[in-house]
Amino acid sequence: MKICTLMSGSSGNAVFIETSETKILIDAGQSGKAITCALEKSCGITPGDLDAIFLTHGHRDHIMGAGVLARRYKLPVYATEGTWCEIKSLVGNISEEQKKYIDVKKTWELGDIKIETFPLSHDAVEPVGFLVSKGGKSVGLATDTGVFTTRMGNTLQNSDCLILEANHDSELLRNGSYPWSLKKRISGIHGHLSNETAGQALLRTLGKKSKEVILSHLSEENNEPKLALKTVKNILETEQVSLEEVNIMVAPRYKPGVQVNIE
């Protein structure tokens, strides 16, 4: 499996996953043109090569380009019923044939991959995360959630690659320029994971198979890549988790990240 974050943060999110038979995009949070350029530059493909788009939830930084790409390339789009209701006026017309409805109680197959979903805790309608697997290898994605639940931990346990939100540093958020209402929303149970909660989540999910961790959706104002890495690594080292076996990196905000290969 090949994994590449195309963009990450409140300005836009998209993750590309490829196997020998299947190519998918999880979220499409910038313009169709920006996503097309990112795919061509980092992955050597066009959106027309994709088999499907999957949406985690209905906020603009995750769905902005979904309608354009779906219409232009006749791509199926997978989302929960709640997300479809939320984005109806935001993505434009998508034919009923292209609309695919996610049931969080079921695991299903697309090409040579299996896909499992799980609920997130965010101020959107029916948001979900994903576990994508093939042949004993798996990549999990959990962003835009205010809490890390037991179900999330169980589903993502021992993933080969984990894309996990580390949105903010609690002190920077508390002392920053955001209005109190926004600070409360971000740090609340329907907001975003902090660096500290991301580190605690990793303690619950890392296993012998875990080789790659990509910290994602970092706040531009309330976080820094070096700070996120330091905080997460300190938490793991305090609990005597060996960092020699797992590579922890940060997804760039405005450009594609390093392509991760899971063999």
pLDDT tens digits for range 177-201:
999 999 999 999 999 999 999 999 9
Strand 128-134 to 137-142 pairing: antiparallel
Alpha-carbon span 49 to 114, nearest angstrom: 19
Q: CA torsion sign, 252 to 257 to 258 to 263? A: positive
Residue 260 neighbours by CB under 8 Å, 6+ apart:
2, 3, 4, 161, 212, 214
pLDDT for 244 beyond 90 = no
Residues 236-256 as b/e (b if ≥16 CB within 10 A, e otherwise) read beeeebeeeebebbbbbbeeb
Q: Hey, where are the domains in the chain?
A: 2-261
Q: What is the pLDDT of residue 224?
A: 97
Alpha-carbon span 18 to 4, nearest angstrom: 9
pLDDT tens digits for range 116-166:
999 999 999 999 999 999 999 999 999 999 999 999 999 999 999 999 999
For the structural domain made of 2-261, what CATH number should be given? Answer: 3.60.15.10
- Binned at pLDDT 50, 70 and 90, residue 246 comes out as very high
